[in-house]
């Protein structure tokens, strides 16, 4: 399969350090840990019952075609660094360099931003408030635990997403069951059927978060050459994990809406607030002003819930680092990034240099966000989440169209699984997913766009985080995107020596052994 791309002896040597160990079991739980994130459940629920409406809508219009698309690409082109390789084959190395820079950078930003603040919030809410140096030390421990876990060999590291998947199921299952107990004892806030009616303002607010919730099917393909049988296992793992993801998102969001009025649900603590109130059925009280105090068994279960929640967040960050760092490492091997980033550790079989770079960037994002937010967790959360989602969505604008393009440029590639419907089916899957990625990017970079175009009441600036002006918000979103695109250009320039060596090698091969035997630039 490596014949679809040119490989220098240097790249072959680095890839020889990879170890084939991932089974279908590992892939299913890897994907559940990737796709099902607890960090954005509150961000969806704060939009009220219509958030659930859009969840179901995008499950059909985005999640299904996205899963079909990634099942075909992962099975047809099972090469290490999958997303980079697909984009490079479809659109060239320069475009792939830009896409990879955005795809990789979004994950340290997400880890140092949204995941860290949620972990701090969970500890604050259920264990003890963190202030000053204690808060900083906790955040650093959280970030670097994820980095170290990503460095560890897959022989051991693969159990982190597997355990993380089980923890997700346990946390969300226990929460949903506890809502039933809470409802039987105290009644619920509830919602009426008209609350599910969709509205444009809610649509543009929730769509980017929902799409961010649903992505991740391509991530295991970053480690395709560490799988035992990628062609067979990737499509099945996508199908099984996709079905579970819809349930694991839908039920908790409904449960939150049953327990809390929409006015009390925030993006940063919506799930945590609902969990804390629900756990009072095991011991605790809800104060008239909305405050909650857990006692006895309720407090013990609250602390266990916080520990499980933090582990779920940590496993999410670790899993995404495992995949995205491998994508950047392959770009380094191929001349689309500095060669040093392509080093694979002989001891661990992982791209340690990229892992450490991810940790440094996550730490910088965390420190910068703490400083800029002035202690406001909600502003910190929304700004960091917006940047993480927008950079991810822009990267997908280069990945999603690759399916349709590769159907045309590589028609003879063996495809054990194909998107149904032939060529039109491939174009529909690529077109739908690309459209939603473009729409999400637009509404993230300019929240409220179109609110006053279709007769909807309100003002576009109402879609901004509370207390943040339009100019300040746009600077926090547009500037990072421009910097990351510039990083992609710099990465490509830094990869020039690697590209030159590869060209020299191909030239020598052509003189020594004539035309390539396999039609892919290798003798």
Please give the Cα distance from 166 to 146 (Å, whole number).
Answer: 18
For the chain, how many residues are written?
A: 523
Q: Are 251 and 176 in contact (CB under 8 A)?
A: yes
Please give the Cα distance from 398 to 189 (Å, whole number).
Answer: 43
Annotated domain spans of the chain: 2-370+495-506
Please give the Cα distance from 481 to 27 (Å, whole number).
Answer: 31
Per-residue pLDDT of the chain (523 residues; tens, 9 = 90+): 444 556 666 777 788 888 888 888 888 888 888 888 777 777 777 777 788 888 889 999 999 999 999 999 999 999 999 999 999 999 999 999 999 999 999 999 999 988 888 898 889 888 888 888 899 999 999 999 999 999 998 888 888 888 988 898 888 889 888 888 888 887 777 666 777 777 777 787 788 888 988 899 999 999 999 998 999 999 999 988 888 888 888 888 887 777 776 666 665 567 788 888 889 989 988 887 767 889 999 999 999 999 999 999 999 999 999 999 999 999 999 999 999 999 999 889 899 999 999 999 999 988 887 776 555 555 566 667 778 888 899 999 999 999 999 999 999 999 999 999 999 999 999 999 999 999 999 888 888 777 777 555 667 767 676 667 778 777 877 888 899 999 999 999 999 998 888 777 666 555 443 333 333 333 3
- Per-residue pLDDT, 266: 61
pTM of the predicted protein model? 0.87
Structure tokens at 89: 């084959």
**Kind of pairing between the strands at 284-286 and 292-294:** antiparallel
Unique residue bearing structure tokens 């695109």: 485
Backbone φ and ψ of 369, nearest 5°? -65, -40
Can you tell me whether residue 200 is helix, strand or coil?
Answer: helix
- Tell whether the torsion through CA atoms of 35, 401, 4 and 493 is positive or negative: negative
Backbone φ and ψ of 259, nearest 5°? -90, -45
Q: Are 78 and 70 in contact (CB under 8 A)?
A: no
Please give the Cα distance from 390 to 239 (Å, whole number).
Answer: 26
- Per-residue pLDDT, 512: 41
Unique residue bearing structure tokens 């991932």: 22
Please give the Cα distance from 430 to 65 (Å, whole number).
Answer: 8
Unique residue bearing structure tokens 């637009």: 442
> Alpha helices of 374-401 — where are they, by DSSP H?
377-399
Any idea what the Cα angle at residue 437 is, between residues 483 and 121, rounded to 5°?
70
Any idea what the Cα angle at residue 114 is, between residues 110 and 116, rounded to 5°?
100
pLDDT in tens, 433-470: 999 999 999 888 888 777 777 555 667 767 676 667 77
Burial class of residue 390, CB neighbours in 10 A (0-12, 13-18, 19+): buried
Burial class of residue 517, CB neighbours in 10 A (0-12, 13-18, 19+): exposed
H or E segment and range at residue 520 = none
Q: Are 325 and 81 in contact (CB under 8 A)?
A: no
Please give the Cα distance from 149 to 315 (Å, whole number).
Answer: 9
Q: Are 118 and 290 in contact (CB under 8 A)?
A: no
Beta bridge partner(s), residue 293: 285
Can you tell me whether residue 227 is helix, strand or coil?
Answer: strand
- Per-residue pLDDT, 507: 62
Letter string b/e over residues 481-513, b meaning 16 or more CB atoms within 10 A of that residue's CB: beebbebbeebbebbeebeeebeebbeebeeee
Closest among 476, 396, 391 to 66, alpha carbons compared = 396
What percent of the residues of the chain are helix, what percent strand, and what percent coil, each to the nearest 5?
Answer: 75, 0, 25
CA 236 to chain CA centroid, Å, is 20
CA atoms within 13 A on the CB side of 357: 18
Please name the CATH architecture into which domain 2-370+495-506 falls: Up-down Bundle (1.20)
The conformational region for residue 68 under phi > 0 = left, psi -120 to 50 = alpha, else beta, is alpha
CA atoms within 13 A on the CB side of 39: 35
Distances 45 to 72, 263, 264, 272 between C-alpha atoms, Å? 32, 10, 10, 12
Backbone φ and ψ of 294, nearest 5°? -95, 140
Backbone φ and ψ of 168, nearest 5°? -60, -50
- Per-residue pLDDT, 454: 58
Helix axes 377-399, 200-214, angle to 10 degrees: 70
Structure tokens at 292: 């909650």
Please give the Cα distance from 422 to 416 (Å, whole number).
Answer: 14
Contacts of 337 (CB under 8 A, 6+ apart): 97, 100, 101, 328, 331, 491, 492, 494, 495
- Per-residue pLDDT, 340: 93
Contacts of 379 (CB under 8 A, 6+ apart): 373, 465, 466, 467, 468
Structure tokens at 74: 């992962």
């Amino acid at each position: 399969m490596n014949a679809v791309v040119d490989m220098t002896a240097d790249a072959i040597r680095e890839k020889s350090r990879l170890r084939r160990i991932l089974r279908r079991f590992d892939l299913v739980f890897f994907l559940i840990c990737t796709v099902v994130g607890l960090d954005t459940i509150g961000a969806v629920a704060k939009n009220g019952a219509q958030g659930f409406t859009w969840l179901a809508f995008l499950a059909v219009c985005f999640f299904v075609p996205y899963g079909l698309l990634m099942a075909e690409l992962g099975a047809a082109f099972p090469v290490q660094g999958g997303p980079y390789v697909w984009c490079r084959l479809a659109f060239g190395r320069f475009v792939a360099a830009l896409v990879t820079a955005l795809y990789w950078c979004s994950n340290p930003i997400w880890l140092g931003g949204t995941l860290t603040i949620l972990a701090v919030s969970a500890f604050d809410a259920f264990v003890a408030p963190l202030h000053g140096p204690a808060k900083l030390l906790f955040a650093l421990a959280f970030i670097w635990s994820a980095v170290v876990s990503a460095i560890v060999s897959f022989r051991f590291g693969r159990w982190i997403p597997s355990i993380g998947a089980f923890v997700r199921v346990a946390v969300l299952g226990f929460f949903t069951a506890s809502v039933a107990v809470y409802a039987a004892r105290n009644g619920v806030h509830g919602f009426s059927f008209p609350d599910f009616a969709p509205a444009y303002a809610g649509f543009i607010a929730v769509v980017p978060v929902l799409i961010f919730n649903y992505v991740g099917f391509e991530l295991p393909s970053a480690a395709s050459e560490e799988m035992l049988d990628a062609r067979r296992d990737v499509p099945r793992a996508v199908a099984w994990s996709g079905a579970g993801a819809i349930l694991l998102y839908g039920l908790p969001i409904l449960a939150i809406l049953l327990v809390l009025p929409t006015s009390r649900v925030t993006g940063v603590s919506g799930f945590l607030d609902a969990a804390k109130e629900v756990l009072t059925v095991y011991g605790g009280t809800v104060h008239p002003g909305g405050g909650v105090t857990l006692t006895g068994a309720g407090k013990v279960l609250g602390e266990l819930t916080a520990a499980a929640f933090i582990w779920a967040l940590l496993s999410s960050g670790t899993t995404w680092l495992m995949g995205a760092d491998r994508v950047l490492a392959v770009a380094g091997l191929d001349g689309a990034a500095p060669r040093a980033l392509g080093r694979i550790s002989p001891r661990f079989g992982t791209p340690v240099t990229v892992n450490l770079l991810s940790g440094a960037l996550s730490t910088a994002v965390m420190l910068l966000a703490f400083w800029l937010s002035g202690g406001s967790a909600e502003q910190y959360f929304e700004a960091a989440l917006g940047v993480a989602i927008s950079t991810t969505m822009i990267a997908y604008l280069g990945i999603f169209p690759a399916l349709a393009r590769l159907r045309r440029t590589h028609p003879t590639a063996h495809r054990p699984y194909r998107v149904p419907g032939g060529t039109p089916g491939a174009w529909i899957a690529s077109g739908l997913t690309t459209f939603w990625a473009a729409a999400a990017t637009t509404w993230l970079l300019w929240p409220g766009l179109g609110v006053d175009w279709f007769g909807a009441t309100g003002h576009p600036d109402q879609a901004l985080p509370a207390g943040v002006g339009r100019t300040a918000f746009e600077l926090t979103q547009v500037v990072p995107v421009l910097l990351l695109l510039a990083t992609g250009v710099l990465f490509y320039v830094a990869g020039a020596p690697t590209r030159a060596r590869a060209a020299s090698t191909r030239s020598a091969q052509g003189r020594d052994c004539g035309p390539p035997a396999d039609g892919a630039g290798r003798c």
